[in-house]
Amino acid sequence: MTFASPHSNSGAPQRSPVVVIGAGPAGLTIGNILRAADVDCVVLESETRAFIEQRPRAGVLEEWAVRGLERRGLAVNLLERAQRHTECEFRFGGQRYRLEYGELTGHHHWIYPQQLLVTDLVREYADVRGGDIRFGVRDVQLHDLDSDQPSVSYTDPDTSERVLIHCDFVAGCDGARGATRAVLTPDRARVSRYDYGIGWLALLAEAPPSNDCVVFGMHPNGFAGHMARSPEVTRYYLECPPGDDPDNWPQDRVWSELQLRLGASGAPPLTEGRLIEKRVLDMHSYVVEPMVIGRLFLAGDAAHLTAPIAAKGMNLALHDAYLLGDALIAHLTKGDSTGLTGYSAACLGRVWDYQEFSQWLSDIYHGTSSGDPYRAGTTLARLRRLFASPSAASTFAEQYLGSGY
């Protein structure tokens, strides 16, 4: 099946074994894995290098994910600069409850802003391993995915000409709104979607963290979250109506609501600062099955979006990237297709597990503010159980860390 025809004004076609669409954590990790094995690839990115190196998003990395980067020589800066977190704090009913998940499991999280990881991965891929990356590309299209000679075309931002690259495989790592969405027709893939019906005002504040660990505040006004990003910058979240306008949240309103929802006996007030990011996220998730369409292999948010409730998305993107990078090398250098054949199933187990945990955690975060006294009652019962039952705490810790594999 041909999804689109290459543009008629293409120059001479190019060739590369793999074309990676998207230079986020997934695409750049795959590119680095391929280059380390001397397999050529071309990474196509619609934004500029400066833009992706400054785009703030995630920050919480699971220990296994960092070990995977380290094994591939991609964690030198991270291990020097990231903070280790072993505890989180829940605040509800005006009290603070500490969950020492590091002690329960022997595992921890790493806190490292996504834009620093992307900066490290671009530098390693392009400047150290000599990888081909093309920024600012426009109108990426995929062709002949069902043949053994697929291709990708795009408009060059400098010449405005169409460029056509023939390849063996396409890695679709272009996030939730990329070019690979066009390929996801119902006859090729099932997209299961879940809308939480909740908005989060995602904030970045030029203010040092106000606590030594992540804080989850469950308040009748709505959920609030506090997550360190660096000694100077802290991410905060405030539950809000879906589709809310960030302009409804001037600086004063943001800080008074954060102080209220995260306030608890014995907790010092939050250190306030200038808000440098303020946007509303409508919380939703989806999973694409299978993650393979002909010669297109999806990875990361292109294949599954996880609302940032449990900080799982970047971790899943890295998990896919490790599996896909290794599978491509096995096929292209040894003719072993086992990894590619099993790729989708090998990813989806963890994907669905993380989706389920995010949904469970969403019930905890949002139950007390649901306006439904019955739901609020069962939410508080769950919360109390976390701190009364060591086995409930251990189960939470394992899922929060993604360590049960």
Q: Among residues 137 and 340, whose Cβ is nearest to ligand FAD? A: 137
Q: Which of 44, 213, 324, 329 binds ligand FAD (CB under 6 A)?
A: 44
Instruction: Say how many C-beta atoms besides its own lie within 10 A of residue 318's C-beta.
Output: 24
Q: Which of 34, 74, 140, 189 binds ligand FAD (CB under 6 A)?
A: 140
Instruction: Say how many C-beta atoms besides its own lie within 10 A of residue 290's C-beta.
Output: 16
b/e per residue 178-202 (b: at least 16 CB within 10 A): bbbeebbeeebbeeeebebebbbbb
For residues 1 and 145, the answer to whether their CB atoms sit within 8 Å is: yes
Q: Among residues 150 and 178, whose Cβ is nearest to ligand FAD? A: 178
Q: Among residues 267 and 280, whose Cβ is nearest to ligand FAD? A: 280
Q: Among residues 340 and 347, whose Cβ is nearest to ligand FAD? A: 347
Residue 283 in the binding site for ligand FAD (CB under 6 A) = no
In the region spanning residues 48 to 67, those forming contacts with ligand FAD, defined by CB under 6 A, are 52, 57-60
Only segment of 95-103, 185-193, 313-321, 333-341 that touches ligand FAD (CB under 6 A): 313-321
CA 361 to chain centre: 17
Q: Which of 30, 39, 288, 317 binds ligand FAD (CB under 6 A)?
A: 317
Q: Give which of 230, 204, 219 is closest to 262, Cα–Cα.
A: 219
Q: Among residues 32 and 114, whose Cβ is nearest to ligand FAD? A: 114
Bond from prior residue into 290 cis (ω within 30 degrees of 0) = yes
> What is the β-pairing status of strands 234-240 and 88-92?
unpaired
Q: Which of 82, 314, 340, 397 binds ligand FAD (CB under 6 A)?
A: 314
| C-alpha torsion sign, points 310, 313, 316, 322 | negative
Instruction: Say how many C-beta atoms besides its own lie within 10 A of residue 32's C-beta.
Output: 26
Only segment of 79-87, 308-316, 329-337, 344-352 that touches ligand FAD (CB under 6 A): 308-316
Going residue by residue from 243 to 282, which x/- string records binding to ligand FAD, judged by CB under 6 A? ----------------------------------------
Q: Which of 16, 86, 105, 114 binds ligand FAD (CB under 6 A)?
A: 114
Q: Among residues 282 and 363, whose Cβ is nearest to ligand FAD? A: 282
* Tokens representing residue 314 in the block: 């970047």
> Total binding residues for ligand FAD by CB under 6 A?
34
SS3 assignment, position 250: coil
Q: Among residues 173 and 262, whose Cβ is nearest to ligand FAD? A: 173
Q: Which of 6, 22, 31, 222 binds ligand FAD (CB under 6 A)?
A: 22
Give the length of the chain. 405
Q: What stretches of 53-152 show up as alpha helix (H) in DSSP?
A: 63-71, 76-81, 101-105, 114-122
Going residue by residue from 173 to 212, which x/- string records binding to ligand FAD, judged by CB under 6 A? xxx--xx----------------------x----------
Q: Is 248 exposed, middle or buried (0-12, 13-18, 19+ CB in 10 A)?
A: exposed
Strand order in the sheet with 292-293: 132-134, 41-44, 18-21, 169-172, 296-298, 292-293
Q: Among residues 38 and 206, whose Cβ is nearest to ligand FAD? A: 206
Q: Which of 6, 27, 217, 402 binds ligand FAD (CB under 6 A)?
A: 27
* Tokens representing residue 38 in the block: 């001397």
Which residues are near ligand FAD by CB under 6 A?
A: 21-27, 44-47, 52, 57-60, 114, 137, 140, 173-175, 178-179, 202, 300-301, 308, 311-315, 317
